[in-house]
Protein backbone atom coordinates (compact mmCIF):
# COMPACT_ATOMS: atom_id res chain seq x y z
CA UNK A 1 0.00 0.00 0.00
CA UNK A 2 1.38 3.41 -0.94
CA UNK A 3 0.04 6.91 -0.62
CA UNK A 4 1.29 10.26 -1.88
CA UNK A 5 4.47 11.55 -0.23
CA UNK A 6 3.88 13.55 2.92
CA UNK A 7 5.51 16.58 4.48
CA UNK A 8 7.34 15.22 7.51
CA UNK A 9 7.29 18.62 9.20
CA UNK A 10 3.49 18.48 9.36
CA UNK A 11 2.24 15.64 11.60
CA UNK A 12 -0.89 14.07 10.19
CA UNK A 13 -2.43 13.76 13.67
CA UNK A 14 -1.26 17.10 15.09
CA UNK A 15 -4.94 17.81 15.75
CA UNK A 16 -7.12 14.90 16.73
CA UNK A 17 -10.46 13.78 18.13
CA UNK A 18 -10.62 11.56 21.20
CA UNK A 19 -13.68 11.01 23.40
CA UNK A 20 -13.95 9.30 26.76
CA UNK A 21 -16.79 8.30 29.10
CA UNK A 22 -19.77 10.64 28.89
CA UNK A 23 -18.28 12.55 25.95
CA UNK A 24 -18.12 9.24 24.05
CA UNK A 25 -21.90 8.92 24.40
CA UNK A 26 -22.48 12.57 23.52
CA UNK A 27 -20.30 12.29 20.43
CA UNK A 28 -22.10 9.26 19.00
CA UNK A 29 -25.51 10.75 19.76
CA UNK A 30 -24.64 13.99 17.95
CA UNK A 31 -22.70 12.30 15.15
CA UNK A 32 -25.55 9.98 14.18
CA UNK A 33 -28.22 12.69 14.43
CA UNK A 34 -26.54 14.85 11.81
CA UNK A 35 -27.28 12.68 8.79
CA UNK A 36 -28.19 9.17 7.72
CA UNK A 37 -25.31 7.14 9.13
CA UNK A 38 -24.58 3.52 8.26
CA UNK A 39 -22.14 1.93 10.69
CA UNK A 40 -19.97 -1.15 10.27
CA UNK A 41 -18.78 -2.37 13.67
CA UNK A 42 -15.81 -4.78 13.74
CA UNK A 43 -15.22 -6.60 17.02
CA UNK A 44 -13.36 -9.60 18.41
CA UNK A 45 -15.44 -12.70 19.06
CA UNK A 46 -13.59 -14.03 22.09
CA UNK A 47 -13.96 -14.60 25.82
CA UNK A 48 -12.80 -11.15 26.94
CA UNK A 49 -15.68 -9.69 29.00
CA UNK A 50 -15.10 -6.31 27.35
CA UNK A 51 -16.02 -7.67 23.90
CA UNK A 52 -19.72 -6.60 23.87
CA UNK A 53 -19.39 -3.53 26.06
CA UNK A 54 -18.24 -1.09 23.39
CA UNK A 55 -20.98 -2.18 21.00
CA UNK A 56 -23.59 -1.85 23.73
CA UNK A 57 -22.45 1.62 24.64
CA UNK A 58 -22.28 2.83 21.04
CA UNK A 59 -25.64 1.30 20.08
CA UNK A 60 -27.32 2.98 23.05
CA UNK A 61 -25.85 6.38 22.15
CA UNK A 62 -26.28 6.08 18.37
CA UNK A 63 -29.99 5.32 18.45
CA UNK A 64 -30.71 6.77 15.01
CA UNK A 65 -28.60 4.61 12.69
CA UNK A 66 -28.24 1.08 11.38
CA UNK A 67 -25.33 -1.02 12.64
CA UNK A 68 -23.93 -4.13 10.98
CA UNK A 69 -21.51 -6.21 13.05
CA UNK A 70 -18.59 -8.33 11.87
CA UNK A 71 -17.32 -10.47 14.76
CA UNK A 72 -13.87 -11.97 14.24
CA UNK A 73 -13.36 -15.58 15.29
CA UNK A 74 -9.72 -16.28 16.12
CA UNK A 75 -8.73 -19.78 15.02
CA UNK A 76 -5.41 -20.84 16.55
CA UNK A 77 -4.66 -24.52 17.03
CA UNK A 78 -2.02 -23.68 19.64
CA UNK A 79 -4.52 -21.86 21.87
CA UNK A 80 -6.12 -24.19 24.41
CA UNK A 81 -9.17 -22.30 25.65
CA UNK A 82 -10.70 -23.57 28.87
CA UNK A 83 -14.40 -24.57 29.07
CA UNK A 84 -15.00 -21.33 30.98
CA UNK A 85 -13.40 -19.29 28.21
CA UNK A 86 -15.45 -21.05 25.53
CA UNK A 87 -18.63 -20.40 27.52
CA UNK A 88 -17.72 -16.73 27.88
CA UNK A 89 -17.08 -16.47 24.13
CA UNK A 90 -20.51 -17.98 23.42
CA UNK A 91 -22.15 -15.52 25.81
CA UNK A 92 -20.42 -12.61 24.06
CA UNK A 93 -21.62 -13.82 20.66
CA UNK A 94 -25.19 -14.00 21.91
CA UNK A 95 -24.84 -10.53 23.42
CA UNK A 96 -23.94 -9.06 20.01
CA UNK A 97 -27.23 -10.27 18.56
CA UNK A 98 -29.23 -9.04 21.53
CA UNK A 99 -27.68 -5.57 21.32
CA UNK A 100 -28.28 -5.15 17.58
CA UNK A 101 -31.74 -6.71 17.40
CA UNK A 102 -33.39 -5.66 14.14
CA UNK A 103 -31.11 -2.65 13.56
CA UNK A 104 -28.69 -4.62 11.40
CA UNK A 105 -26.87 -7.90 10.83
CA UNK A 106 -24.33 -9.86 12.85
CA UNK A 107 -21.90 -12.12 11.00
CA UNK A 108 -18.79 -14.02 11.97
CA UNK A 109 -15.52 -14.11 10.02
CA UNK A 110 -12.54 -16.32 10.80
CA UNK A 111 -8.96 -15.13 11.27
CA UNK A 112 -6.52 -17.99 10.74
CA UNK A 113 -3.58 -17.68 13.12
CA UNK A 114 -1.35 -20.50 11.81
CA UNK A 115 -0.47 -22.20 8.55
CA UNK A 116 0.27 -25.90 8.16
CA UNK A 117 3.80 -25.28 9.49
CA UNK A 118 2.34 -23.53 12.53
CA UNK A 119 3.88 -20.24 11.48
CA UNK A 120 1.94 -17.12 12.46
CA UNK A 121 -0.13 -15.76 9.55
CA UNK A 122 -2.76 -13.85 11.54
CA UNK A 123 -1.64 -10.42 10.29
CA UNK A 124 -2.13 -11.29 6.62
CA UNK A 125 -5.28 -13.31 7.33
CA UNK A 126 -6.81 -10.34 9.15
CA UNK A 127 -5.86 -7.85 6.43
CA UNK A 128 -7.30 -10.12 3.73
CA UNK A 129 -10.73 -10.08 5.38
CA UNK A 130 -11.05 -6.54 4.07
CA UNK A 131 -9.05 -6.80 0.85
CA UNK A 132 -11.82 -5.28 -1.30
CA UNK A 133 -12.70 -1.67 -0.55
CA UNK A 134 -16.16 -2.19 -2.08
CA UNK A 135 -17.02 -4.26 1.00
CA UNK A 136 -16.80 -1.15 3.16
CA UNK A 137 -17.62 1.59 0.63
CA UNK A 138 -21.34 1.62 1.42
CA UNK A 139 -20.79 2.66 5.04
CA UNK A 140 -20.42 6.20 6.35
CA UNK A 141 -18.58 5.07 9.47
CA UNK A 142 -16.42 2.05 10.27
CA UNK A 143 -15.70 1.30 13.91
CA UNK A 144 -13.01 -1.14 15.04
CA UNK A 145 -13.35 -2.18 18.68
CA UNK A 146 -9.91 -3.48 19.68
CA UNK A 147 -10.85 -4.28 23.29
CA UNK A 148 -11.00 -8.03 22.61
CA UNK A 149 -8.55 -8.22 19.69
CA UNK A 150 -4.83 -8.98 19.69
CA UNK A 151 -2.45 -6.50 18.05
CA UNK A 152 -1.57 -8.97 15.31
CA UNK A 153 -5.20 -8.65 14.17
CA UNK A 154 -6.15 -5.02 14.70
CA UNK A 155 -2.93 -3.43 13.44
CA UNK A 156 -3.33 -4.71 9.85
CA UNK A 157 -7.11 -4.18 9.83
CA UNK A 158 -6.94 -0.56 10.96
CA UNK A 159 -4.06 0.10 8.57
CA UNK A 160 -6.05 -1.35 5.66
CA UNK A 161 -9.14 0.70 6.51
CA UNK A 162 -7.21 3.97 6.79
CA UNK A 163 -5.62 3.19 3.44
CA UNK A 164 -9.05 2.63 1.86
CA UNK A 165 -10.16 5.98 3.27
CA UNK A 166 -7.08 7.79 1.98
CA UNK A 167 -7.22 6.20 -1.46
CA UNK A 168 -10.92 6.93 -1.95
CA UNK A 169 -10.46 10.52 -0.79
CA UNK A 170 -7.53 10.97 -3.19
CA UNK A 171 -9.72 9.76 -6.07
CA UNK A 172 -12.57 12.08 -5.08
CA UNK A 173 -14.83 9.25 -3.92
CA UNK A 174 -16.94 9.11 -0.76
CA UNK A 175 -14.63 7.91 2.02
CA UNK A 176 -15.95 6.41 5.27
CA UNK A 177 -14.95 7.76 8.65
CA UNK A 178 -12.61 5.40 10.51
CA UNK A 179 -12.99 5.12 14.29
CA UNK A 180 -11.23 2.95 16.85
CA UNK A 181 -12.72 2.30 20.26
CA UNK A 182 -11.24 0.74 23.37
CA UNK A 183 -12.87 -0.25 26.64
CA UNK A 184 -10.09 1.24 28.73
CA UNK A 185 -9.07 -0.40 32.00
CA UNK A 186 -5.26 -0.58 32.47
CA UNK A 187 -5.77 -2.77 35.54
CA UNK A 188 -7.54 -5.45 33.48
CA UNK A 189 -4.84 -5.26 30.81
CA UNK A 190 -2.26 -6.22 33.43
CA UNK A 191 -4.44 -9.08 34.79
CA UNK A 192 -5.03 -10.75 31.41
CA UNK A 193 -1.77 -12.62 30.91
CA UNK A 194 -0.38 -14.13 27.75
CA UNK A 195 0.91 -17.69 28.07
CA UNK A 196 3.30 -19.31 25.68
CA UNK A 197 4.98 -17.17 23.05
CA UNK A 198 6.46 -18.06 19.68
CA UNK A 199 10.14 -18.94 19.51
CA UNK A 200 10.89 -16.07 17.15
CA UNK A 201 9.57 -12.58 16.68
CA UNK A 202 8.52 -11.24 13.27
CA UNK A 203 7.67 -7.98 11.57
CA UNK A 204 3.95 -7.41 11.12
CA UNK A 205 2.32 -7.02 7.74
CA UNK A 206 2.15 -4.42 6.20
CA UNK A 207 5.07 -2.91 8.14
CA UNK A 208 7.79 -5.46 7.41
CA UNK A 209 9.24 -3.76 4.30
CA UNK A 210 12.58 -2.32 5.48
CA UNK A 211 13.28 -5.43 7.57
CA UNK A 212 12.85 -7.95 4.76
CA UNK A 213 16.52 -7.48 4.01
CA UNK A 214 19.77 -7.04 5.89
CA UNK A 215 20.83 -3.56 6.93
CA UNK A 216 22.80 -1.74 4.23
CA UNK A 217 26.48 -1.09 4.94
CA UNK A 218 26.71 1.32 7.87
CA UNK A 219 22.93 1.55 8.30
CA UNK A 220 21.95 1.53 11.98
CA UNK A 221 18.89 -0.13 13.49
CA UNK A 222 16.99 1.76 16.19
CA UNK A 223 14.38 -0.02 18.32
CA UNK A 224 11.54 1.85 20.05
CA UNK A 225 9.59 -0.55 22.31
CA UNK A 226 6.62 0.78 24.30
CA UNK A 227 6.90 -1.16 27.55
CA UNK A 228 4.26 -2.69 29.80
CA UNK A 229 4.11 -5.19 32.62
CA UNK A 230 4.78 -8.91 32.18
CA UNK A 231 6.54 -8.72 28.81
CA UNK A 232 10.20 -9.34 29.67
CA UNK A 233 10.33 -12.58 27.65
CA UNK A 234 8.79 -10.75 24.69
CA UNK A 235 11.44 -8.05 25.06
CA UNK A 236 14.28 -10.58 25.05
CA UNK A 237 13.11 -12.38 21.90
CA UNK A 238 12.32 -9.22 20.00
CA UNK A 239 15.70 -7.76 20.93
CA UNK A 240 17.39 -10.83 19.44
CA UNK A 241 15.27 -10.55 16.29
CA UNK A 242 15.63 -6.80 15.74
CA UNK A 243 19.38 -6.65 16.57
CA UNK A 244 19.28 -2.93 17.38
CA UNK A 245 22.28 -0.66 17.66
CA UNK A 246 20.21 1.79 19.72
CA UNK A 247 17.21 1.22 22.03
CA UNK A 248 14.75 3.97 23.04
CA UNK A 249 12.03 2.53 25.33
CA UNK A 250 8.79 4.37 26.03
CA UNK A 251 7.26 4.27 29.52
CA UNK A 252 3.69 5.23 30.54
CA UNK A 253 3.68 8.60 32.28
CA UNK A 254 1.47 10.25 33.27
CA UNK A 255 -0.46 7.17 34.38
CA UNK A 256 -3.32 6.35 36.72
CA UNK A 257 -0.71 4.78 39.02
CA UNK A 258 1.97 7.49 39.34
CA UNK A 259 4.62 4.85 40.05
CA UNK A 260 3.76 2.66 37.09
CA UNK A 261 6.67 3.81 34.95
CA UNK A 262 9.12 3.25 37.83
CA UNK A 263 7.66 -0.21 38.49
CA UNK A 264 8.16 -1.18 34.84
CA UNK A 265 11.77 0.01 34.95
CA UNK A 266 12.36 -2.18 38.01
CA UNK A 267 10.82 -5.19 36.23
CA UNK A 268 13.06 -4.69 33.17
CA UNK A 269 16.08 -3.45 35.11
CA UNK A 270 18.41 -6.37 34.38
CA UNK A 271 17.49 -6.42 30.69
CA UNK A 272 17.69 -2.69 30.16
CA UNK A 273 20.81 -1.79 32.09
CA UNK A 274 22.85 -5.00 32.37
CA UNK A 275 22.22 -6.60 28.98
CA UNK A 276 21.17 -3.78 26.65
CA UNK A 277 23.29 -1.22 28.57
CA UNK A 278 20.64 1.39 28.00
CA UNK A 279 21.62 5.04 28.34
CA UNK A 280 19.04 6.63 30.70
CA UNK A 281 18.76 9.63 28.34
CA UNK A 282 17.15 7.29 25.77
CA UNK A 283 14.09 6.65 27.95
CA UNK A 284 10.94 8.41 26.75
CA UNK A 285 7.60 8.99 28.45
CA UNK A 286 4.10 9.19 26.97
CA UNK A 287 0.63 9.37 28.43
CA UNK A 288 -0.99 6.06 29.34
CA UNK A 289 -4.38 7.42 28.30
CA UNK A 290 -3.62 9.29 25.07
CA UNK A 291 -2.39 7.38 22.00
CA UNK A 292 -1.76 10.67 20.20
CA UNK A 293 0.84 11.58 22.82
CA UNK A 294 2.53 8.22 22.18
CA UNK A 295 2.35 9.04 18.46
CA UNK A 296 3.97 12.46 18.95
CA UNK A 297 6.80 11.23 21.16
CA UNK A 298 7.72 8.30 18.92
CA UNK A 299 7.35 10.28 15.70
CA UNK A 300 9.69 12.98 16.99
CA UNK A 301 12.28 10.38 17.98
CA UNK A 302 12.07 8.47 14.69
CA UNK A 303 12.53 11.63 12.63
CA UNK A 304 15.43 12.74 14.84
CA UNK A 305 17.33 9.51 14.19
CA UNK A 306 16.40 9.61 10.51
CA UNK A 307 17.89 13.08 10.19
CA UNK A 308 21.01 12.57 12.31
CA UNK A 309 21.97 9.08 11.16
CA UNK A 310 21.12 9.92 7.56
CA UNK A 311 24.49 11.66 7.42
CA UNK A 312 26.45 8.51 8.32
CA UNK A 313 24.77 5.62 6.52
CA UNK A 314 21.14 6.05 7.51
CA UNK A 315 18.93 4.04 9.82
CA UNK A 316 15.81 1.95 9.98
CA UNK A 317 13.53 1.98 13.01
CA UNK A 318 11.65 -0.94 14.55
CA UNK A 319 8.65 -0.12 16.74
CA UNK A 320 7.09 -2.57 19.22
CA UNK A 321 3.97 -2.39 21.39
CA UNK A 322 4.34 -4.32 24.65
CA UNK A 323 1.77 -2.13 26.34
CA UNK A 324 -1.93 -1.37 26.69
CA UNK A 325 -4.17 -1.37 23.64
CA UNK A 326 -4.68 2.37 23.92
CA UNK A 327 -0.95 3.17 23.90
CA UNK A 328 -0.34 0.66 21.11
CA UNK A 329 -2.52 2.71 18.76
CA UNK A 330 0.10 5.47 18.88
CA UNK A 331 2.66 2.98 17.56
CA UNK A 332 0.35 2.07 14.68
CA UNK A 333 -0.29 5.69 13.71
CA UNK A 334 3.43 6.48 13.50
CA UNK A 335 4.13 3.40 11.39
CA UNK A 336 1.21 4.09 9.06
CA UNK A 337 2.08 7.75 8.48
CA UNK A 338 5.81 7.23 7.94
CA UNK A 339 5.32 4.21 5.68
CA UNK A 340 4.45 6.66 2.89
CA UNK A 341 7.77 8.49 3.31
CA UNK A 342 11.43 7.61 2.86
CA UNK A 343 11.72 6.87 6.59
CA UNK A 344 12.26 3.13 7.04
CA UNK A 345 9.92 1.96 9.80
CA UNK A 346 8.65 -1.50 10.75
CA UNK A 347 6.67 -3.05 13.61
CA UNK A 348 8.32 -5.97 15.43
CA UNK A 349 5.97 -8.34 17.22
CA UNK A 350 5.93 -11.75 18.86
CA UNK A 351 2.74 -13.78 18.97
CA UNK A 352 1.44 -15.50 22.09
CA UNK A 353 -0.30 -18.88 22.17
CA UNK A 354 -3.19 -18.12 24.50
CA UNK A 355 -4.43 -15.99 27.35
CA UNK A 356 -5.18 -16.48 31.03
CA UNK A 357 -7.77 -14.34 32.79
CA UNK A 358 -8.82 -14.36 36.46
CA UNK A 359 -12.25 -15.79 37.20
CA UNK A 360 -15.06 -13.34 38.05
CA UNK A 361 -13.02 -10.41 36.79
CA UNK A 362 -14.63 -7.10 37.74
CA UNK A 363 -14.58 -4.63 34.87
CA UNK A 364 -14.34 -0.90 35.55
CA UNK A 365 -13.79 0.19 32.00
CA UNK A 366 -14.32 3.55 30.36
CA UNK A 367 -15.15 3.69 26.63
CA UNK A 368 -12.60 5.63 24.63
CA UNK A 369 -13.21 6.65 21.03
CA UNK A 370 -10.44 7.66 18.62
CA UNK A 371 -11.41 9.18 15.28
CA UNK A 372 -8.42 8.41 13.05
CA UNK A 373 -9.62 9.36 9.56
CA UNK A 374 -12.58 11.14 8.02
CA UNK A 375 -14.62 14.32 7.95
CA UNK A 376 -13.00 16.02 10.93
CA UNK A 377 -9.57 16.06 9.21
CA UNK A 378 -10.69 17.47 5.85
Q: How far apart are the first and last CA of the chain?
A: 21
With 0-12 / 13-18 / 19 or more C-beta atoms within 10 angstroms meaning exposed / middle / buried, residue 3 is middle
Q: Which residues of the chain have pLDDT under 70?
A: 1-8, 77-80, 186, 189-190, 195
User: With contact defined as beta carbons under 8 Å apart, do 245 and 339 qualify?
Assistant: no
CA distances from 207 to 56, 243, 336, 352 (A): 33, 17, 8, 19
- Phi first, then psi: what are they for 185, rounded to 5°? -155, 90
Q: Give the global pTM.
A: 0.94
CA distances from 105 to 128, 263, 270 (A): 21, 45, 51
Question: How high is the pLDDT of residue 78?
Answer: 66
Residue boundaries of the structural domains of the chain: 17-191+358-377, 199-350
287-298 burial code (b ≥16 CB/10 A, e <16): bbbbbbbbbbbb
Q: Considering the domain 199-350 in this protein, what is its CATH number?
A: 3.40.50
* Distance of alpha carbon 273 from alpha carbon 108, whole angstroms: 46
Question: How high is the pLDDT of residue 153?
Answer: 97
Amino acid sequence: MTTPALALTDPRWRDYVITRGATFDEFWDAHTREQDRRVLFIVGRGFDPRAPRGLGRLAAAARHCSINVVALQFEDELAADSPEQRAAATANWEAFGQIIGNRGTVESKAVQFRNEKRDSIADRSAANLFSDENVVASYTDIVVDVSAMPRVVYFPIISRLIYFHDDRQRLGKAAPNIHVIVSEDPRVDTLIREHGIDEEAKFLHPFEGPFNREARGDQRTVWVPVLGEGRTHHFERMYVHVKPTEVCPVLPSPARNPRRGDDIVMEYQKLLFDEVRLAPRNIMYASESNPFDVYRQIRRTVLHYHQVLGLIGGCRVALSAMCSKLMSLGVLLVAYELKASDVEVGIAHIECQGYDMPANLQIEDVPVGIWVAGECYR
